[in-house]
A = this chain, B = another copy of it.
Amino acid sequence: MARRSGTRDQILDRATDLFGRWGVEAVSLDQIAQEVGVAKQTLLYWFPSKDDLVEHVLAATAEELAVVVEAAIRAAPDDPLDRIEAVVKAVFRPAVRRPALLGLIREMSRLPPETSERVATHMRPLADRAVAWMRTEMDAGRLRRCDPDIVVALAYATVTGIATEPEALRVVGWSADTAGLRRLRAELVAFLRAALTP
């Protein structure tokens, strides 16, 4: 999250934003280099190929999101709905400040299978924990009974979709100012709460 200072970190940073906003294929090395303010060759010194850069960007992003989620889970209260709310809010903040973050995760499905598989491996422990946790909460009657695998994916899809598609929100007349953001977050939390209450 912190904009770091070395050339390598600056490259990672700009590449994250550009890849997430426009898609990996749509962003050229020349463009990244120009925005960072170095020659393209400098990119290729730090990352021997574009694929390599993409992979490092993805790994760093997945890692960053995982850290944010872990922290939110640990800090959150015991009630499952409160906990979900805490996680959503934790993800919402960096996602709104840098919309590219979640957009990047989406780019996964457009990458060669081996790459996306490696990123998926990164996320799997987190997803597994979430699923297991939901299952126990359902057994305890504190969450609506359902298929936890799919519902974790549904919740993810809702949060990611809404955070990365300003166009869809514009269609219904939403605007991205502070008040709009607060309203959006509140509705998102209420939506998930209603969807998961027993």
Interfacial residues, chain A to chain B (CB-CB below 8 A): 21-23, 25-26, 106, 108-110, 116, 120, 123-124, 127, 131, 144, 146-147, 149-154, 156-158, 160-162, 164-174, 183-184, 187-188, 190-192, 194-197
Contact = CB atoms under 8 A, between A and B. Distances in A.
B197 A172 contact: no
Contacts of A170: 120
A110 B26 contact: yes
Instruction: Tell me whether chain A's interface is mostly helix, strand or loop, or mixed.
Output: helix
30 contacts: A21-B110, A23-B110, A25-B26, A109-B167, A116-B167, A120-B171, A123-B171, A124-B171, A127-B171, A127-B172, A146-B187, A149-B172, A149-B173, A149-B174, A150-B169, A150-B174, A150-B184, A150-B188, A151-B191, A153-B162, A153-B165, A153-B172, A153-B174, A154-B191, A157-B160, A157-B161, A158-B161, A160-B165, A161-B161, A194-B195
Number of copies: 2
Given A21-B110, A26-B110, A194-B195, 7 more contacts: A109-B166, A109-B167, A120-B170, A150-B174, A153-B169, A154-B187, A154-B191
Contact of A195 (B124, B169, B195): B195
A79 to B, nearest CB: 18
Residue among A161, A173, A187 facing the most chain B CB atoms (10 A cut-off): A161
Contacts of A190: 146
> What 4 pairs between A and B have smallest CB-CB spacing?
A157-B161, A25-B26, A161-B161, A195-B195
